[in-house]
């Protein structure tokens, strides 16, 4: 016997259009129906492409017994049609249908008993239509139905008995409608219901008994409505509920009674509401949740004493408190959360975290503290978080980090410290982060990057140091310390172009991907801004609102050039332009002992000088005239004479420094000449003494030679007497000389 499990009638439609060009949609459907032979078994009819406008009563049936299929017809799909109305008894003789899909059919009316006779129907899809009302009897006798999709319609009213008799219903989707209220006990017959979606409606209130006797319900979505309050004990019978989503409503208060009975709760989301406080009677010790998604809107003002009422959820695994106005985390706030794995405290107003706040969170793997107002963090804050893999501290006001802050984070994989006020990283800060693979320290005020700081980061793969004030780095040491590095971000620093090119070349040869910048209108290497000299880059970097940015407009560039001309070649001066439109000393940053200030072109100029240099320059009043003759600065550019004198100190300091250098050179020259003269005198004296020591030695040698000659002469030519006479005479002569 021939079996056809799926029949898609695209070819039939094309055949009809070719042979009967003028027939309407119903005629085409009738023609197709009569093409189904009595000896063919059909399980699925898909009428997607027919665009049927109307279904007359009893039209969907086979005429005569000979045309009735021998086996079960499982599903029919009318997708993307324009039916408008489903009349009564339209599917009366299709008792075997299990799945009926009427999505996107333009339906606006469901007549009473339109689905009568479909006793085996399990799935009914009516989504994305224009249905505005469900009357009593519309869904009658669908005793086997377990899935009903009415989402994305214009439903404003549902009869209280519309779902009566649907005792096997598991999933009911009513989301994306215009429901403003629901009748009391509308779901009372849904004893087997597991999932109800009422999200994206206009519900402002719920009755106390609306979810009564729904002991099988596991998921309830009420998000994206206009709920302001919840009646007491509304969820008291939902003993199996695991997920409750009430986010994006207008809730201002939650009481213990309204959330009672949720013993099996796994996920609770009340984010983006208008919660001002949590009722003091609300006690989560009875909830024993595994997952609690607790987020409140930016208008919330949940204090930590209220948040601490969530203690006792010994199975809690996920806790979201983001988007509140929490300013402090006490040591009792998170007590007892031994199974908590995910904790989000981002987008709050945290300025302080108690050092024992996370003491019990031994299972925590994810901690988000970003977008707060943290300035300092206690040494032991992260103690016992040995399973933590992700730590986010972005967008705070952290200026310093204790060297032992991360000492217990043995499993940390991702660390982000971007958008803070860090000026340096202490040695040893990351010595225990042996498993760290991603480090983000971008958008800080780091002026140098010592590769020794990364010595223990053996497995780091991604490093982001962008948007700092770094102008150089020992690339060989960096590559030696980070052998597994794969990606690095360098843009937004004070790079010298030649140095940056060498750094990028070395990294590329090693196989490291250097992420390109987006700078194309100024000097750059691979889109990363740079300059021909580090000094020019440094002088072209200015401070605005405690964030460092490179100057771009002509005015700031002009000021930068002027200041560089003033400072000349001085290495101990650093110039910062702060607040280009007025004077304010709130953002001053000091490096040396004293600061001289001046206003140039109606902007603040802070020049850092050594105290000794300032004192010396103050004595040299005559150099003021020399300064005022510079072409780069005119009287009109400076507000007052006092400010001129303040800035003039730079040039005076340059002159004083030059004079001091000359005097020092003279002193060294005199010392060198004196030492040289002394050495020469010593050499001459030693030579003179040696000459006197040499005379006696020469005379002795000469005497021995004469005596030897006399003896030889005596033996050869003269007698003994004459020889003795000569010898005696010679000896006397020698003795006389000696």
pLDDT at 144: 94
Q: Per the structure block, which two tokens stand in for 226?
A: 């206009």
In this structure, of 411-420, 472-481, 653-662, 664-673, the range with the lowest mean pLDDT score is 653-662
Asked if pLDDT for residue 342 goes beyond 60, the answer is yes
**110 confidence band (pLDDT: 50, 70, 90):** very high
Q: Per the structure block, which two tokens stand in for 304?
A: 């930590």
Asked if pLDDT for residue 72 goes beyond 80, the answer is no
Alpha helix positions (H), 518-640? 534-539, 554-567, 611-619, 623-628
**664 confidence band (pLDDT: 50, 70, 90):** confident
**CB contact at 8 A, 259 and 233:** no
Quickly tell me which residue has 């730590």 as its tokens: 391
pLDDT at 420: 96
662 Cβ contact partners less than 8 Å away, ≥ 6 residues apart: none
Q: What's the pLDDT tens digit per position in 24-48?
A: 544 544 444 444 433 344 556 655 5
Q: What's the pLDDT tens digit per position in 297-309?
A: 444 444 444 444 4
Residue ranges of E strands in 437-527: 438-440, 462-464, 487-489, 513-515, 524-525
pLDDT at 701: 67
Q: Which of 13-17, 447-451, 501-505, 633-637 has the highest mean pLDDT?
A: 501-505
pLDDT at 55: 52
pLDDT at 154: 95
Record the pTM.
0.55
Asked if pLDDT for residue 608 goes beyond 60, the answer is no
Domains of the chain: 1-202 (3.80.10.10), 215-397 (3.80.10.10), 424-532 (3.80.10.10), 541-662 (no CATH), 665-737 (no CATH)
Asked if pLDDT for residue 130 goes beyond 50, the answer is yes
Tell me the C-alpha distance between 541 and 493, whole Å: 9
pLDDT at 695: 61
Residue 572, classed as helix, strand or coil, is: coil
Report CA 415 to chain centroid distance, whole Å.
9
Asked if pLDDT for residue 534 goes beyond 70, the answer is no
**240 confidence band (pLDDT: 50, 70, 90):** confident
pLDDT at 381: 93
Asked if pLDDT for residue 75 goes beyond 50, the answer is yes
Tell me the C-alpha distance between 336 and 471, whole Å: 48
**CB contact at 8 A, 196 and 172:** yes
Q: What's the pLDDT tens digit per position in 351-397?
A: 989 999 999 999 999 999 999 999 999 999 999 999 999 999 999 99
**CB contact at 8 A, 229 and 204:** no
Tell me the C-alpha distance between 246 and 66, whole Å: 55
pLDDT at 406: 94
Mean pLDDT score, 471-492:
88
pLDDT at 490: 92
Quickly tell me which residue has 């983006």 as its tokens: 272
Asked if pLDDT for residue 7 goes beyond 80, the answer is no
Greatest CA span in the chain, whole angstroms? 183
Asked if pLDDT for residue 289 goes beyond 70, the answer is no
Percent above pLDDT 70 for the chain:
61
Tell me the C-alpha distance between 526 and 545, whole Å: 29
Tell me the C-alpha distance between 228 and 275, whole Å: 10
pLDDT at 186: 92
Q: Which residue has the higher pLDDT, 239 or 63?
A: 239
Q: Which residue has the higher pLDDT, 236 or 696?
A: 236
Mean pLDDT score, 544-565:
43
Q: Which residue has the higher pLDDT, 516 or 356?
A: 356
In this structure, of 48-52, 378-382, 706-710, the range with the lowest mean pLDDT score is 48-52
Asked if pLDDT for residue 114 goes beyond 70, the answer is yes
Asked if pLDDT for residue 159 goes beyond 80, the answer is yes
* Beta-sheet pairing, 575-578 with 603-609: antiparallel
In this structure, of 205-214, 241-250, 376-385, 405-414, the range with the lowest mean pLDDT score is 241-250
Quickly tell me which residue has 């560039």 as its tokens: 557
pLDDT at 456: 80
pLDDT at 479: 86
Percent above pLDDT 90 for the chain:
28
**In residues, how long is the chain?**
738
pLDDT at 271: 79
Asked if pLDDT for residue 294 goes beyond 70, the answer is no
pLDDT at 475: 86
pLDDT at 691: 64
State the average pLDDT for the chain. Answer: 71
Q: What's the pLDDT tens digit per position in 261-278?
A: 777 777 778 777 776 544
**702 confidence band (pLDDT: 50, 70, 90):** low
Mean pLDDT score, 181-209:
94
Asked if pLDDT for residue 426 goes beyond 50, the answer is yes
Give a three-class secondary structure readout of 115-146: CCCCCCCCEEECCCCCCCEECCCCCCCCCCCC
Long-range contacts of 553-560 (CB under 8 A, 24+ apart): 555/580, 555/601, 556/580, 558/601, 559/600, 559/601, 559/603, 559/605, 560/536
DSSP lists the bridge partners of residue 269 as: 245, 293
Mean pLDDT score, 395-407:
93
Q: Which of 41-55, 84-98, 198-212, 470-484 has the highest mean pLDDT?
A: 198-212
């Amino acid at each position: 016997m021939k079996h056809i499990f799926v029949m898609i009638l695209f070819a039939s439609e094309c055949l009809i259009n070719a042979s009967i060009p003028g027939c309407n949609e119903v005629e085409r459907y009738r023609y197709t129906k009569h093409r189904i032979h009595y000896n063919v078994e059909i399980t699925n009819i898909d009428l997607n492409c027919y665009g049927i406008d109307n279904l007359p009563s009893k039209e969907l049936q086979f005429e005569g017994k000979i045309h009735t299929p021998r086996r079960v017809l499982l599903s029919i799909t009318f997708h993307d049609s324009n039916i408008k109305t489903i009349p009564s008894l339209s599917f009366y003789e299709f008792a075997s249908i299990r799945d009926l899909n009427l999505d996107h059919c333009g339906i606006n009316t469901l007549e009473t008993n339109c689905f009568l006779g479909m006793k085996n129907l399990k799935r009914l899809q009516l989504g994305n239509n224009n249905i505005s009302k469900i009357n009593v009897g519309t869904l009658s006798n669908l005793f086997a139905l377990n899935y009903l999709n009415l989402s994305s319609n214009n439903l404003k009213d549902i009869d209280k008995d519309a779902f009566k008799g649907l005792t096997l219903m598991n999933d009911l989707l009513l989301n994306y409608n215009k429901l403003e209220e629901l009748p009391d006990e509308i779901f009372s017959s849904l004893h087997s219901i597991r999932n109800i979606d009422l999200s994206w409606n206009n519900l402002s209130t719920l009755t106390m008994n609306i979810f009564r006797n729904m002991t099988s319900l596991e998921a309830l979505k009420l998000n994206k409505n206009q709920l302001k309050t919840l009646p007491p004990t509304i969820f008291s019978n939902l003993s199996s509920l695991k997920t409750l989503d009430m986010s994006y409503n207008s809730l201002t208060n939650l009481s213990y009674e309204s959330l009672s009975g949720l013993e099996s709760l796994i996920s609770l989301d009340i984010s983006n509401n208008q919660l001002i406080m949590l009722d003091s009677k609300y006690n989560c010790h009875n909830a024993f949740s595994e997952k609690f998604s607790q987020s409140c809107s930016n208008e919330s003002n949940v204090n930590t004493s209220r948040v601490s009422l969530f203690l006792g959820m010994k199975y809690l695994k996920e806790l979201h408190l983001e988007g509140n106005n929490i300013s402090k985390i006490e040591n009792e706030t998170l007590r007892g959360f031994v199974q908590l794995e995910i904790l989000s405290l981002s987008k709050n107003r945290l300025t302080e975290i108690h050092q024992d706040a996370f003491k019990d969170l031994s299972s925590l793997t994810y901690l988000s503290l970003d977008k707060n107002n943290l300035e300092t963090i206690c040494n032991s804050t992260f103690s016992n978080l040995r399973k933590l893999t992700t730590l986010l501290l972005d967008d705070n006001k952290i200026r310093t980090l204790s060297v032992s802050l991360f000492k217990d984070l043995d499993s940390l994989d991702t660390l982000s410290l971007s958008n803070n006020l860090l000026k340096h990283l202490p040695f040893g800060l990351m010595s225990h982060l042996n498993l760290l693979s991603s480090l983000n320290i971008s958008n800080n005020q780091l002026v140098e990057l010592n590769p020794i700081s990364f010595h223990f980061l053996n497995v780091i793969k991604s490093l982001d140091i962008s948007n700092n004030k770094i102008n150089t780095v020992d690339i060989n040491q960096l590559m030696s310390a980070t052998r597994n590095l794969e990606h690095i971000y360098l843009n937004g620093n004070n790079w010298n172009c030649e140095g940056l090119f060498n750094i990028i070349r070395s990294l590329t040869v090693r196989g490291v991907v250097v992420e390109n910048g987006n700078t194309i209108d100024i000097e750059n290497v691979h889109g990363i801004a740079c300059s021909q000299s580090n000094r020019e880059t440094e002088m072209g970097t200015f401070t605005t609102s405690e964030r460092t940015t490179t100057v771009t407009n002509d005015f700031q560039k002009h000021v930068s050039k002027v200041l560089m001309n003033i400072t000349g070649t001085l290495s101990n001066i650093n110039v910062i332009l702060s607040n280009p439109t007025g004077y304010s000393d709130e953002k001053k940053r000091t490096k040396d002992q004293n600061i001289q200030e001046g206003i140039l072109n109606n902007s603040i100029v802070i020049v850092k000088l050594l105290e000794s240099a300032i004192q010396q320059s103050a004595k040299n009043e005559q150099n003021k005239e020399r300064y005022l003759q510079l072409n780069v600065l005119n009287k009109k550019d400076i507000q007052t004479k006092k400010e001129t004198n303040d800035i003039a100190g730079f040039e005076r300091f340059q002159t004083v420094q030059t004079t001091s250098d000359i005097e020092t050179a003279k002193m060294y020259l005199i010392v060198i000449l004196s030492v040289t003269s002394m050495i020469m005198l010593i050499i001459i004296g030693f030579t003179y003494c040696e000459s006197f020591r040499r005379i006696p030695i020469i005379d002795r040698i000469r005497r021995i030679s004469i005596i030897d000659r006399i003896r030889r002469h005596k033996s050869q030519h003269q007698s003994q007497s004459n020889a003795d006479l000569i010898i005696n005479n010679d000896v006397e002569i020698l003795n006389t000389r000696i």
